[in-house]
């Protein structure tokens, strides 16, 4: 965590300037990550989302895929649990 990040009581972490107000912003750009770990397959996608203000809420106006992983057959250990090490290696490669 950088020194710009602030931690409030209750464990909440804010990754934005404390003086920033979204009220005045008509467009917000975010980087999003989607992780799907299923019983048969797993995959990851990174996207850039553009949110635009529509009245008093934001709607996604654009979504650009930055990276989409191959679909992995979910690895299992001998005890029939998901192989965390193999899955972690896959995620790290992405």
| pLDDT for res 15 | 56
pTM of the model: 0.66
| pLDDT for res 94 | 85
Q: Which residues, including other chains, have CB under 8 Å from residue 6's CB and lie 6 or more apart?
A: 13, 14, 18
* Total number of domains in the chain: 1
Question: pLDDT of 6-63, one tens digit each?
Answer: 555 666 665 566 666 666 778 889 999 999 999 999 999 999 999 998 888 889 999 9
Residue 5 lies in a domain: no
Residue 88 lies in a domain: yes
| pLDDT for res 20 | 65
Helices (H) and strands (E) counted in the chain, each on its own, are 1, 6
Instruction: Compute the distance between CA of residue 50 and CA of residue 15 in angstroms, rounded to an integer.
Output: 18
- Determine the structural domain holding residue 34 and report its residue range: 26-93
Residue 45 lies in a domain: yes
């Amino acid at each position: 965590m950088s020194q710009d990040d602030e931690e409030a009581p209750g464990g909440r972490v804010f990754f934005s300037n404390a003086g920033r107000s979204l009220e005045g912003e008509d467009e917000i750009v975010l980087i999003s990550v989607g992780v799907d770990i299923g019983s048969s397959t797993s995959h990851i996608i990174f996207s850039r989302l553009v949110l635009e203000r529509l009245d008093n809420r934001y709607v996604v106006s654009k979504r650009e895929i930055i990276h989409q992983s191959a679909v992995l057959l979910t690895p299992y250990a001998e005890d029939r649990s998901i192989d965390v090490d193999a899955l972690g290696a896959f995620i790290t490669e992405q």
